[in-house]
A and B are shown apart, each in its own frame.
Chain A
Amino acid sequence: MSGNAIRDTFFEECEELLEALVEGLAQMEEAPDDLQVVNAVFRAVHSIKGGAGAFALDRLVTFAHTFETVMDKVRDRDLSVDDRLMALFHRSGDMLSDLVAAARDETPLDPAAEGELIEALESYLGPASEEEEFSFDAVSLDLGGDTPASLPEIPLAKIADSAPDGAATGPASEKTYRIRFTPTRALYENGHEPLLLFDALAELGTLCVLLDLSGLPSFDAFDPQDSCLDWTLLLTTAEPETALDEVFEFVEGLCTLEITTAPPPAPTEAELPTPDLPQPAARPAPPAAESAAAPPPPKPEARGPKPTLRVDLDRVDRLINTVGELIINQAMISQRIEELDLPTVAHLTNELEAYKLLARDIQEGVMAIRAQPVKPLFQRMSRIVREASDATGKKARLVTVGDSTEVDKTVIERLADPLTHMIRNAVDHGLEHPERRLERGKEAQGTIRLSASHRSGSVFIEIADDGAGLDRAAILRKAREKGLVAPEVELTNPEIDNLLFLPGFSTANQVSNLSGRGVGMDVVKNAVQALGGRISITSIPEKGTTFTIVLPLTLAVMDGFVISVAKETMVVPIASILETIRPNARDTHVIGTSSEVVKIRGSYVPIVDVAANLGLDAGDADRGGSILLLVSTETQGLTALRVTGIHDQRQVVIKSLESNYAAIPGVSAATILGDGKIALILDPDELIKLSRLSEPEGTETKLMPEPGHV
Chain B
Amino acid sequence: MTTKVLAIDDSRTIRNLLRVSLENAGFEVHSACDGQEGVDIFPEVDPDVVITDINMPNLDGFGVIDTLRSGPNRTNVPILVLTTESSDKLKSRARASGATGWIVKPFDDASLVSVLRRLTGHVS
B33 located at the interface, meaning its Cβ lies under 8 Å from any Cβ of chain A in the complex: yes
Contact with B along A178-201 (1 / 0, CB 8 A): 000000000011111101110110
Chain A contact residues (Cβ within 8 angstroms of B): what range? 35 or more
Contact of B13 among A10, A42, A287, A288 (CB under 8 A): A10
Contact with B along A468-495 (1 / 0, CB 8 A): 0000000000000000000000000000
A418 located at the interface, meaning its Cβ lies under 8 Å from any Cβ of chain B in the complex: no
**Complex interface residues of chain B between 15 and 70 (CB less than 8 A to chain A):** 16-17, 19-20, 32-34, 36-37, 40-44, 46, 53, 55-58, 69
Closest Cβ neighbor of B35 among chain A residues: A303
Contact with B along A243-273 (1 / 0, CB 8 A): 0000101101110000000000000000000
Measured between alpha carbons, how far is A459 from B19 in the docked complex, in Å? Answer: 42
Please state if B76 and A188 are interface contacts (CB–CB under 8 Å). yes
Contact with A along B83-124 (1 / 0, CB 8 A): 010111000100100111111111110110011001111000
Q: Which of B34, B105, B121 has the most CB of A within 10 A?
A: B105
A156 located at the interface, meaning its Cβ lies under 8 Å from any Cβ of chain B in the complex: yes
Q: Which of B17, B108, B118 has the most CB of A within 10 A?
A: B118
Query: What's the nearest-Cβ distance from chain B to residue A158, in Å?
Result: 9
The stretch from A49-57, A163-171, A314-322, A402-410 touching chain B is A49-57
Measured between alpha carbons, how far is A507 from B12 in the docked complex, in Å? Answer: 48
CB neighbours of A298 from chain B (8 A): 40
**Complex interface residues of chain A between 291 and 307 (CB less than 8 A to chain B):** 291, 294, 297-298, 300-301, 303-305
A9 located at the interface, meaning its Cβ lies under 8 Å from any Cβ of chain B in the complex: yes
Measured between alpha carbons, how far is A396 from B108 in the docked complex, in Å? Answer: 46
Measured between alpha carbons, how far is A286 from B68 in the docked complex, in Å? Answer: 12
CB neighbours of B104 from chain A (8 A): 150-152
Q: Given A199-B121, A297-B41, A303-B58, does the pair A51, B13 have CB atoms closer than 8 Å?
A: yes
A43 located at the interface, meaning its Cβ lies under 8 Å from any Cβ of chain B in the complex: yes
Contact of A6 among B17, B58, B111 (CB under 8 A): B17
Contact of B73 among A12, A49, A191, A291 (CB under 8 A): A291
Measured between alpha carbons, how far is A190 from B88 in the docked complex, in Å? Answer: 18
Please state if A305 and B119 are interface contacts (CB–CB under 8 Å). no
Q: Which of B46, B56, B100, B102 has the most CB of A within 10 A?
A: B100
CB neighbours of A252 from chain B (8 A): 95
CB neighbours of A297 from chain B (8 A): 40-44
Please state if A303 and B121 are interface contacts (CB–CB under 8 Å). no
Q: Given A9-B16, A196-B118, A196-B119, does the pair A152, B111 have CB atoms closer than 8 Å?
A: yes
Please state if A1 and B16 are interface contacts (CB–CB under 8 Å). yes
A46 located at the interface, meaning its Cβ lies under 8 Å from any Cβ of chain B in the complex: yes
Please state if B43 and A294 are interface contacts (CB–CB under 8 Å). yes
Contact with B along A37-53 (1 / 0, CB 8 A): 00110110011011101
B11 located at the interface, meaning its Cβ lies under 8 Å from any Cβ of chain A in the complex: yes
Measured between alpha carbons, how far is A286 from B86 in the docked complex, in Å? Answer: 30
Please state if A191 and B119 are interface contacts (CB–CB under 8 Å). yes
Measured between alpha carbons, how far is A538 from B78 in the docked complex, in Å? Answer: 66
Please state if B19 and A1 are interface contacts (CB–CB under 8 Å). yes
Measured between alpha carbons, how far is A42 from B84 in the docked complex, in Å? Answer: 13
Please state if A42 and B55 are interface contacts (CB–CB under 8 Å). yes
CB neighbours of B12 from chain A (8 A): 9-10, 12-13, 305
CB neighbours of A50 from chain B (8 A): 11, 13-14, 53, 84, 105-106
Query: What's the nearest-Cβ distance from chain B to residue A102, in Å?
Result: 18
Q: How many A-B residue pairs have CB under 8 A?
A: 166
Query: What's the nearest-Cβ distance from chain A to residue B52, in Å?
Result: 12
Please state if B106 and A151 are interface contacts (CB–CB under 8 Å). yes
Please state if B69 and A189 are interface contacts (CB–CB under 8 Å). yes
Contact of A196 among B44, B105, B121 (CB under 8 A): B121
CB neighbours of B98 from chain A (8 A): 189-191
Chain B contact residues (Cβ within 8 angstroms of A): what range? 35 or more
Contact of B111 among A156, A254, A287, A294 (CB under 8 A): A156
A154 located at the interface, meaning its Cβ lies under 8 Å from any Cβ of chain B in the complex: yes
Please state if A193 and B121 are interface contacts (CB–CB under 8 Å). yes
CB neighbours of A288 from chain B (8 A): 43, 46, 73, 75, 77
CB neighbours of B78 from chain A (8 A): 191-193
Closest Cβ neighbor of B9 among chain A residues: A50
Please state if B106 and A54 are interface contacts (CB–CB under 8 Å). yes
Contact of A200 among B72, B105, B118 (CB under 8 A): B118
Measured between alpha carbons, how far is A486 from B32 in the docked complex, in Å? Answer: 70
Measured between alpha carbons, how far is A39 from B11 in the docked complex, in Å? Answer: 15
Measured between alpha carbons, how far is A6 from B14 in the docked complex, in Å? Answer: 9
Measured between alpha carbons, how far is A192 from B99 in the docked complex, in Å? Answer: 9
CB neighbours of A190 from chain B (8 A): 69, 76, 79, 95, 98-100
A284 located at the interface, meaning its Cβ lies under 8 Å from any Cβ of chain B in the complex: yes
Q: Given A53-B84, A53-B106, does the pair A250, B11 have CB atoms closer than 8 Å?
A: no
Closest Cβ neighbor of B78 among chain A residues: A191
Please state if A253 and B16 are interface contacts (CB–CB under 8 Å). no
Measured between alpha carbons, how far is A151 from B106 in the docked complex, in Å? Answer: 7
A131 located at the interface, meaning its Cβ lies under 8 Å from any Cβ of chain B in the complex: yes
Please state if A253 and B111 are interface contacts (CB–CB under 8 Å). no
Please state if A284 and B111 are interface contacts (CB–CB under 8 Å). no
Q: Which of B13, B69, B100, B111 has the most CB of A within 10 A?
A: B13
Contact with B along A143-168 (1 / 0, CB 8 A): 00000011111101000000000000
**Complex interface residues of chain A between 190 and 232 (CB less than 8 A to chain B):** 190-193, 195-197, 199-200
CB neighbours of B108 from chain A (8 A): 151-152
Query: What's the nearest-Cβ distance from chain B to residue A173, in Å?
Result: 23
Measured between alpha carbons, how far is A376 from B36 in the docked complex, in Å? Answer: 28
Please state if A300 and B41 are interface contacts (CB–CB under 8 Å). yes
Closest Cβ neighbor of B17 among chain A residues: A54
The 5 closest A-B pairs by CB, nearest first: A53-B106, A191-B78, A304-B33, A51-B13, A191-B100
Jot down 5 A-B pairs with beta carbons below 8 A, ordered by A: A1-B20, A13-B13, A150-B104, A152-B108, A288-B73
